[in-house]
Structure 1
């Protein structure tokens, strides 16, 4: 079935998973990235009704269809998330289709910017801060009135450990990631007055979260060596997986975390990023 969201396409699917969270509704922004797909799958598996978004109709449609095949209740919206009118209409249409909205999860696009911050171009600077800070903030603003109607409304940002520990090779990414840590704290203060919780999941070295820019441009052998070196530095002995991040998202969206807000929650395999 095809439904129109202005110039966008939506695909609907039927529900299959069943548990205590089955009536909860979540909107996942950036659902075609590696982390985004993992979050959609985790929430759908937990019984959520999920609205998944992406800028490519075919790609986001495939995410919905893949989850439909295993019983997930996932509806796909294709839109330009940089467009204020599209953002406003998305929240309205998603809430109408799902029957409400309890959780907004914002997964930023995968980072492809490397290098020292002093060498950053104006274009790269503006794009990365739009992806990591401006657009998530604007989405939060427009979604807050709808989330406030939920008995367990929440916003969950995804960011990186580089926000705590800058890297000279990922300088701009570090600063942009750090901005999300502050955004979480600030929005949580205001949103709490409306009964909405705001947290972030801070991923350590996870393949698919944007930190892969450290090794993406390396040769196969160099990438292997980099990953092996990183694994020796991680107490649990491996890089993080997208499913590790998605599981934390599920927890923060659930009633189990109903007294947690304003927290930047690290998924880092035991690496100490802060006390």
Structure 2
């Protein structure tokens, strides 16, 4: 049975990824810095037959990252896949107005901590016959939004991180890819539409859906399904790719 570590398991996308991997037969380590929240994620999945164990550590701290990998490997019996779900974004507005505090926090959450976790997990992942890392990021990394300026830059950095880490990790037999979500319900990238309500929210949603060829916003399960594919042996010759789940919206050629 393959083993997966999901960082950020209590967010909307994180919960969907944990559920999808558990249904696919993985032993899943669900991780968050809130013991009550991640404990509930584990219990909810156990009720429907999922093999999910909760771990509560602060992955922004180096000693916690090392401890997490050691505990997960011991508890699950190994590590095949690392999935890093970023914290839900709350920083909106034009980038020129960004405070230094917001800048440092967003890049720490989006780039620095995911990279350091990957470094910590790589020795164990390299022991797997199908070791892989999957970053989650946003299509705003391809197409910046004036309302999400800093988030766009941070998301773009994950696209480059994916390719750079993939080149190095390939030498150890570990694949590295990202799942790049378009407009997905409840993932924190919505800026305006996530904060609207009532008739305003309905109108915004209709306008957005009219721009998407498949006619609807994405769902967390759409993203989670792609994560499962990239973690599986079906994707054993795919690495260094930023894989878009965008409903047909053209974010790149």
Regarding TM over 0.5, the answer is yes
Equivalent position SS for 1:175: helix
Per-residue CA distance 1:177-229 (angstroms, 9 max, x = gap): 00000000000000000000000000000012221223233343222211111
Distance 2:194 2:185 in 1: 10
1:154 pairs with 2:128: no
* TM-score of the superposed pair, with normalisation by structure 1: 0.91
Distance 1:245 1:121 in 2: 31
Matched residue pairs, number? 253
Q: Which residue does the alignment assign to 1:227?
A: 205
| Contact 2:147-2:191 at 8 Å conserved across structures | no
1:181 is matched with which residue: 133, 142, 159?
159
Per-residue CA distance 1:150-173 (angstroms, 9 max, x = gap): 000000000000000000000000
Superposition pairs for residues 1-275 of structure 1, below 5 Å? 23-275=1-253
Q: Which residue does the alignment assign to 1:18?
A: none
Equivalent position SS for 2:115: helix
| Contact 1:34-1:242 at 8 Å conserved across structures | yes
Distance 2:37 2:154 in 1: 26
Per-residue CA distance 1:108-156 (angstroms, 9 max, x = gap): 0000111000000111111110111000000000100010000000000
Q: Which runs of 4+ in 1 moved over 6 A?
A: none
Query: Which segments of 5 or more consecutive residues in structure 1 lack a partner in the other structure?
Result: 1-22
Distance 2:63 2:191 in 1: 32
Query: Over the residues paired in the alignment, what is the CA RMSD in angstroms?
Result: 0.7
| Contact 1:26-1:48 at 8 Å conserved across structures | yes
Equivalent position SS for 1:215: helix
Distance 1:227 1:217 in 2: 12
Query: Which segments of 5 or more consecutive residues in structure 2 lack a partner in the other structure?
Result: none
Per-residue CA distance 1:18-70 (angstroms, 9 max, x = gap): xxxxx100000000000000000000000000000011111000000000000
Range with bigger deviation, 237-246 or 217-226: 217-226
The alpha-carbon deviation at position 265 of structure 1 amounts to 0.1
Equivalent position SS for 2:195: coil
Distance 2:135 2:192 in 1: 22
